[in-house]
Amino acid sequence: MTDISTENTDGIHFITVNGEIDAGSSIYLDNALKQAMDNGEKKIIADLSGLDYISSAGLGVFISHLDEFKLKNIELTLFGINETVKQVFDILGLEKLLTIEKTKEEAIKSFDE
Amino acid sequence: MSDKVKIRLSFLGAIICWLLFTGSSIYLLLVQSYDMKVDFSNFFPQLCFTGFVLTTFAYYRYIITKADSLNFTDLLWKVFITGLITTLISLAIQLFFSIFASTTLVESPLTINFFYNILVGLVVIYMVSTLVVWKRLILYQKSKNLLKLWGFFEIALMASLLFDFWGIQFGEPYFQLSLVILALFSIILVFNLKWVAYLNFKQKWKGILFILLSGIYLYHFLLKLSWFVATDMVIMNLLDRVFILGLFAFLFLYAVISILVTLFNLPTSSVFEQKLKEALDFQKLSQSIPRGETKDQTYEILLESSMSAVFADAAWLEVKEEGGTNQIIRNLKDEEVNEIKSAIKGETIKAILRLELKNEVNPGKLTDDLKHSQFKSIIALPIMVQNKQVGFIVLLNEVSEAFNREMVNIITTFVNQASVSLENLSLIQESIENERYKEQLKIAKNVQKSLLPKALVNNDHLTVAAFSMAADEVGGDYYDILEYRENRFGLIIGDVSGKGTSAAFQMAQMKGIFHSLANQGISPSEFNKKANIALSQCLERSSFITSTYFDINTEENILTFSRAGHCPSLFYCKNENTVDYLKCDGMGLGMVRNSSYEDYVHSNTMSYHAGDTLLLYTDGITEAKNQDGEQFGSDRLKDSFTTHASKAPDQVKEGIKNDLSQFIGEMIIDDDYTLVVVQFKDKKND
């Protein structure tokens, strides 16, 4: 159902999420983010173009790491969010706390600003 | 017809038949002695005799089959008692004859025939009752074939009764042929003696005695009958009847065979008793847990039954448990246990005692000889639960080579059964625990139900209808309304992230926050700011709550609201007949846990008119999926609300619920979902 893979290119840590993230699978997303943090990654891009659905528990995973990312100067950018998932982000107000771009190129560029 | 009536009728029938039999015999005697020529043959007494036999048979059949609870010795006791009474009466008749010997009284055919008929009655009663008892013994653990065979035998007996009407006498070929047929049946039947095996040693001796006596009675009756026949004065010679002779042969044969078989079974009865005890012990072991006994009791039963099964002189059992090692010792001192442990030679047994057994062992390695001053033989068996050795049982005997393979097998079955029982016990305990959790959840559910408002506002200004359903026993959706001042209402809808128990606790906190803040009459923006501070203290970092807070002023018909990340509410404007989402920027509570949260808080104010309707809901509604994985979505919800918005709040709620359930079809909503409908009225313009 849920498939999360990671990859490092040009100093950027990519996390690709496919499928749905609910209360059960949110642990895998959490693990992927923690792993990136432990590895000392500073630039993380989450590719959510394959994400069909995210539950409040999944959103909680992003929210729970916000403070620590800020503290450790870790930048997180999301891209490829589909319309339904984007709506969820917007309603919650999460789009104001995260950097969200449309494409991968824009996401990579976001670190230069 | 009840059995009681049947017994009484057959009893009465037997008496009448006997009286008619005696009467007709004596009548015949008179006819003979006075040489009267009347058309009256032997036919009638024979008929009465047949009737007497049949009614007696019926009587005993009802009496003995009714008494289901009778065991074998009770049955044999019945035969013995009936035989004793009938024999005593026949002895009394003999006494009568010897007292009045050589007087005309005892030489008169009338007296002789009268007493002869009494004797016939006694003989029939004894033989028929014995036949019924023998039948029950033979048919113990019956097979279909045996039952069929017995049926034929009974038919043959009846046929012999009919055969006797022809008056064919002993010695004639047909008579002998019939007798041979009956004898053949008897020989096949008499070897059905399964009941003998179920007698214990004492019962077997009793059985032999009773059967021996029953045989003696039979012999006694045979002598008596021939004595009467020898006087040559009896009207109906019973010894000329195939039925009587056949029955005699059968009863006698079965008595002889039973005695012989019981005698030969005497030496083995102790083995049978031992096996029976093992079976009972086994049953006791397997039932020990369902009966609510504890582990310790199961160990005790295991030890006791194992000891008695192999005639062990001493034994002990050790089981590793959470709190240490549980040791139960029988006929041994603690120091002896250690002595024996060091006296063991076999590696397998040593491994068993160290609880280090890994794989299957050769049963031959479980027994060994001991070099100990008192105990010479040992059996050690591991106690395994779920393929892990948890303990062992050791049995000792003072004689060397006292244990054999057979004994190891028995103990192995005992130990296996005990393991099953122990596993069952832990399963039972688990299920009891689960039951308790369920009970707790039920309580939680009731408590949570009481957190949602019981009575909703329904006054001149507002009518409210609501519905909330949790995916699990408890959920994280919350709604409430409170009139903090006259004509001023605080209204909230909230949704805790996640679902289940943790969400339910946070929902309860939300209620506390709502009631303390709303009562102060603060603005919606203020409410969200303060609620965020309060929740930041206690929410887990990954949890948050979305909510929308409304302040309703029913005096001025003004609505102010602030949305904290909750799905936007729908508003129906009656005058323009439009439905729109109420837009307002905002962020979920607990997402940003510092003062910067205030930057994200906004509020909107609007006026409303009579008939306008507000719809609050949680994302369980919009995210409900149908079979194709499609969400109900905000557009469908808007359409549904548009259709129903002008109706009364209750109908609006029901209408949307119906549309939703029609959309999802067979699917189940895997989230908490809530609907709140608020309809405004206008007091001023009424």
B291-310 pLDDT, tens digit each: 556 778 888 888 888 888 88
In the predicted structure, residue B68 carries a pLDDT above the cut 70: no
- Of A56, A64, A87, A88, which to mutate for an interface test with B (greatest number of B Cβ within 10 Å)? A56
Task: Provide the pLDDT confidence category of residue B668 given band limits of 50, 70 and 90.
Answer: confident
Partner residue facing A23 (CB), from B498, B568, B634: B498
Higher pLDDT, B270 or B126: B126
- Residue in chain A closest to B540 (alpha carbons) equals A64
The vertex-B589 CA angle with B584 and B593, nearest 5°, equals 120
Higher pLDDT, B142 or B292: B142
What pLDDT score does B35 carry? 64
What pLDDT score does B578 carry? 94
Give Cα separations from A82 to A29, A66, A79, B44, B195 (angstroms): 18, 22, 9, 111, 84
Which of B599, B484, B611 minimizes the C-alpha distance to B549?
A: B484
In the predicted structure, residue B607 carries a pLDDT above the cut 90: yes
Chain A residues whose beta carbon lies within 8 Å of the beta carbon of residue B541: 63-64, 67
Higher pLDDT, B67 or B502: B502
B620 touches chain A (CB under 8 A): no
Q: Which residues contact B223 (CB under 8 A, 6 or more apart)?
A: none
* Residue ranges of chain A whose CB lies within 8 Å of a chain B CB: 23, 30, 53, 55-57, 59-61, 63-64, 66-67, 84, 87-88, 91-94, 96-97
Percent of chain A at pLDDT > 70 equals 99
B544 touches chain A (CB under 8 A): yes
In the predicted structure, residue A104 carries a pLDDT above the cut 80: yes
If you average pLDDT over residues B444-452, what whole number do you get? 87
Which residue is associated with the tokens 């930048």? A75
* Range of weakest confidence among B42-51, B164-173, B218-227, B639-648: B164-173
CA-to-CA distance for B148 and B552, rounded, in angstroms?
93
What pLDDT score does B293 carry? 65
* Range of weakest confidence among B34-38, B59-63, B69-73, B356-360: B34-38
What pLDDT score does B232 carry? 78
Distance linking the first and last C-alpha atoms of chain A: 36
In the predicted structure, residue B516 carries a pLDDT above the cut 60: yes
What pLDDT score does B221 carry? 92
Higher pLDDT, A14 or B430: A14
Higher pLDDT, B675 or B288: B675
Task: Note whether B663 and B633 are within 8 A (CB).
Answer: no
Which residues on neighbouring strands pair with residue A17, listed in sequence order?
A: A4
Contact B498 A94 (CB under 8 A): no
Chain B residues whose beta carbon lies within 8 Å of the beta carbon of residue A57: 497-498, 542
What pLDDT score does B40 carry? 54
Radius of gyration of chain B (CA): 48
Higher pLDDT, B171 or B431: B431
If you average pLDDT over residues B85-89, what whole number do you get? 94
In the predicted structure, residue B503 carries a pLDDT above the cut 80: yes
The vertex-B568 CA angle with B564 and B574, nearest 5°, equals 135
Partner residue facing B542 (CB), from A64, A93, A96: A64
- Residue in chain A closest to B583 (alpha carbons) equals A91
Partner residue facing A60 (CB), from B542, B565, B623: B542
Task: Provide the pLDDT confidence category of residue B686 given band limits of 50, 70 and 90.
Answer: very low
Residue B230: helix, strand or coil by DSSP? helix
In the predicted structure, residue B364 carries a pLDDT above the cut 70: yes
If you average pLDDT over residues B16-28, what whole number do you get? 87
ipTM of the prediction: 0.92
Q: Would you state the structure tokens that stand for residue B51, as one six-digit string?
A: 């009737």
What pLDDT score does B66 carry? 64
Percent of chain B at pLDDT > 90 equals 43
Give Cα separations from B17 to B20, B121, B128, B326 (angstroms): 5, 10, 15, 75
Model confidence over B27-36: pLDDT tens digits?
888 777 776 6
Partner residue facing B600 (CB), from A23, A57, A93: A93
Partner residue facing A92 (CB), from B541, B542, B546: B546
Q: How far is B568 from chain A (nearest CA, A)?
A: 8
Mean pLDDT of chain B: 87
Number of residues written out for chain B? 686
* Range of weakest confidence among A85-89, B353-357, B584-588: B353-357
Alpha carbon B330 to its chain's center = 35
Higher pLDDT, B391 or B233: B391
Secondary structure tally for chain B: helices H, strands E? 19, 15
If you average pLDDT over residues B72-78, what whole number do you get? 86
Which residue is associated with the tokens 């009481």? B450
What pLDDT score does B30 carry? 79
If you average pLDDT over residues B256-285, what whole number do you get? 83
* Range of weakest confidence among B290-299, B444-453, B513-522: B290-299
